[in-house]
Structure 1
Amino acid sequence: MTSDVLELGLRSAGAQTLATYLLTEIRSGRIPAGAKLPGERELGERFNTSRGSVRRVLAALREAGWITQAVGSGTFASRPAHEPSAEWGDSDLFSDQTSPAELMEARLLIEPLMPALIVRHATRSDFARMHECLARGEQAQTIEDFEHWDGALHQALAQATHNHFFLQVLALTNRVREQGDWGRLKRNSLTPQRRTEYERQHRTIVAALEDRDAEQARDALQVHLAQIQRNLFEPPVG
């Protein structure tokens, strides 16, 4: 890993420490691809280094393909094209063998456990990311864009647990969602009325989390996932 840091051209000790941390966490999968990184100020305070050093680290990581940055959205973990994914090892095999029905059964059991951790650990930046996903999902003009931001919201929820187990579970969930069967079911099941209901449910979940009401958030998440499960396998009426 030291050689990786040297290849980034960083000289100060603080910058090298920060770069080593980010490279290690992203490469190992503990910070999964797509996860939003803390802001520059938070990183600077955590690693006792200047904002300028933080910017140089992020610029170097961006050039190397380890992060992406979007104006107004933030900084997100990524992986260079030549780097294999560290998540789950044989996750391609697992995801190929997991059907949408199995995925929804598992999500109904696992995801309602997240609110208890979210209300305990979520930061302002976590909630800001949730609200960004809510807004971008509601503005989406296509099913594909809506599905992207729907997935991003559930990823933001997992990230807000600050628990690596849930991040790894979500990484596998996203692999299954990328399969053709999931996309076909979602396209066939997502009517304008159902999308509106999903958006309302999303806001109810996030509002309960912001109120630090784990029980209400858990109940709202269970209702949301149960409706997704019904809608996926029940064709729209009319």
Structure 2
Amino acid sequence: MSEIDVEQAVRADGAKALARYLIEEISSGRLAVGYKLPAERELSEQFNASRGAVRRVLGELKNRGLITQTVGSGTFVAAVPQPESAQADAKRDIGITSPAELMQARLLIEPLMPSLIVQFGTSRDFARMDECLERSEAAQTVEEFERWDGALHEALAVATHNSFFQQILELATRIREQGEWGRLKQRSLTPERRKTYEHQHRALVEALKDRDEATARRLMEDHLVQIQKNLFSR
């Protein structure tokens, strides 16, 4: 998505400037995934745009998956846009990665994250995790649940404050967006299994908030093993 795409959705100069600023800052990484944006009132004053125009800009960014908004929590950066050429390259690069290979790698890598999260996780990181939990539990479709499930695991990577883990989880998210993963999840995600995942997610986040590394690591491993079993069992 380009700046022009968002700017075309608004008319006022102030709103266009706001759209341009947010896209540039998110794209450059200066506004990182998980960053909380200023309140609508502050953005309105800073860019001399009406509150309605600010809402339209934020609405466009939300529709494109770049930000998330939660009543009582605020507006957070959710993803970094990539040029179309970069997206095409990324799709080619991950095209040979199967869901089975992805789960093998996740089982090796993701249980290492609690060690860093309990050291460096912030209140903002945990607020983002809570948002993902609430959104996934409220999801009405498998696709929506899967998107917020992925967002939770991305939030965990961000909470390590380690760029390596963040890049690895971004790659995992792109693989999850492929058709084969979606077909497996559609087939395997029964209401009972979804409830299990939701309980596992809650327990994991609570252990991280308590800075209980051993419990969080065990819960992460158990969760991933359960996903692997459900995806590939007949």
User: What is the TM-score when the length of structure 1 is the normalising length?
Assistant: 0.73
| 1:1-238 aligned within 5 A | 23=24, 26-28=26-28, 35-40=33-38, 52=42, 56=46, 68=67, 70=69, 72=71, 73-78=74-79, 84=83, 90-235=89-234
Deviations 1:33-91 (A, max 9, x none): xx2213539xxxxxxxxx9479737x6x96996954635251215556xx517979942
4+ residue stretches of structure 1 with deviation over 2 A? 26-32, 38-41, 51-57, 61-73, 77-80, 85-91
**Secondary structure at 1:75's aligned position in 2?**
strand
The amino acid that maps onto 2:214 is E
Structure 2 unaligned regions, length at least 5: 1-15, 48-53
| Cα distance, 1:86–1:63 mapped onto 2, change above 3 Å | farther
The amino acid that maps onto 1:226 is V
| Cα distance, 1:9–1:189 mapped onto 2, change above 3 Å | closer
Deviations 1:173-223 (A, max 9, x none): 011101110000001111111111111111111111001011110110000
**Secondary structure at 1:38's aligned position in 2?**
coil
- CA–CA distance in structure 2, aligned partners of residues 113 and 29 of structure 1: 24
- CA–CA distance in structure 1, aligned partners of residues 45 and 106 of structure 2: 37
The amino acid that maps onto 1:113 is L
Q: 2:107 touches 2:221 (CA, 8 Å); kept in 1?
A: yes
**Secondary structure at 2:180's aligned position in 1?**
helix
> Which region of structure 1 is more displaced relative to structure 2, 86-95 or 136-145?
86-95
Deviations 1:150-175 (A, max 9, x none): 11111111111111111111111011
Q: 1:36 touches 1:74 (CA, 8 Å); kept in 2?
A: no
The amino acid that maps onto 2:183 is R
The amino acid that maps onto 2:27 is R
Q: 1:28 touches 1:86 (CA, 8 Å); kept in 2?
A: no
- CA–CA distance in structure 1, aligned partners of residues 219 and 143 of structure 2: 24
- CA–CA distance in structure 1, aligned partners of residues 228 and 128 of structure 2: 25
| Cα distance, 1:112–1:39 mapped onto 2, change above 3 Å | same
- Residue number in structure 1 paired with 2:9: none
Identity, % of aligned positions: 50
Structure 1 unaligned regions, length at least 5: 1-7, 11-18, 42-50
| Cα distance, 1:68–1:222 mapped onto 2, change above 3 Å | closer
Q: 2:125 touches 2:155 (CA, 8 Å); kept in 1?
A: yes
**Secondary structure at 1:98's aligned position in 2?**
coil
Q: 1:29 touches 1:87 (CA, 8 Å); kept in 2?
A: no
